[in-house]
Amino acid sequence: MLSKAIFYHAGCPVCVDAEQGLAHALDPARFNAEIVNFANAPGRIGEAEAAGVVSVPALVVDGQVYHINFGASLDDVKRG
Amino acid sequence: MLSKAIFYHAGCPVCVDAEQGLAHALDPARFNAEIVNFANAPGRIGEAEAAGVVSVPALVVDGQVYHINFGASLDDVKRG
């Protein structure tokens, strides 16, 4: 069964770089990777927060949160 | 041709967690992943620094540095 990996970002340069370099680098044989851009899906900020995401970009793998470098805080994202 | 991915860490709990969750999650069809633990390979701290690593755990993919969460600064690692 594939593990779930969700990459949350907000379109920032640091985010896009991490998406290209890391989110798309996961083994497709083991991970079902989803990319969530809060600019297009603001309704999913709550779910990320509940998972423990405090800044973007972040990758949540099987419920484990990995903050990758630092693009923006989730508070900044919420303020738009 | 496989891309080179080097995961640098120092044995800290945050490091080990990121190693399990992320470093081993890369697609083996595209990445040649190497795990470097400074506790066993202190001689490689300089190479990591030159690549731009400032804290561990960090993953360097094709020369791009991704700092993942925060375990310890490289300065702390150097001080032992």
Residue closest to A39 by CA, chosen among A22, A21, A19? A19
DSSP string, B14-60: HHHHHHHHTGGGB-TTTEEEEEEETTT-GGGHHHHHHHT--EEEEEE
Residues contacting residue B27 through CB under 8 Å, at least 6 positions apart: A25, A26, A27, A28, A29
pLDDT in tens, A28-43: 999 999 999 999 999 9
pLDDT score recorded for residue A80? 76
pLDDT band for position B51 (cuts 50, 70, 90): very high
Percent residues over pLDDT 70 in chain B: 100
Asked if the Cβ–Cβ distance from B21 to A61 is below 8 Å, we say: yes
Name the residue among B28, B30, B61 with its Cβ closest to that of A22: B61
Average pLDDT, stretch B52-75? 96
pLDDT score recorded for residue B1? 83
- In degrees and rounded to multiples of 5, residue A36 shows phi and psi of -120, 115
Hey, is A78 helix, strand or coil? Answer: helix
Full-model pTM: 0.93
Average pLDDT, stretch B7-11? 96
- Point out which residues pair with A38 in neighbouring strands: none
Contacts of A5 in chain B (CB under 8 A): 25
Asked if the Cβ–Cβ distance from B67 to A69 is below 8 Å, we say: yes
Tell me the shortest Cα–Cα distance from B62 to chain A, in angstroms.
8
Contacts of A27 in chain B (CB under 8 A): 25-29
Amino acid symbol at A65: V
Average pLDDT, stretch B20-36? 95
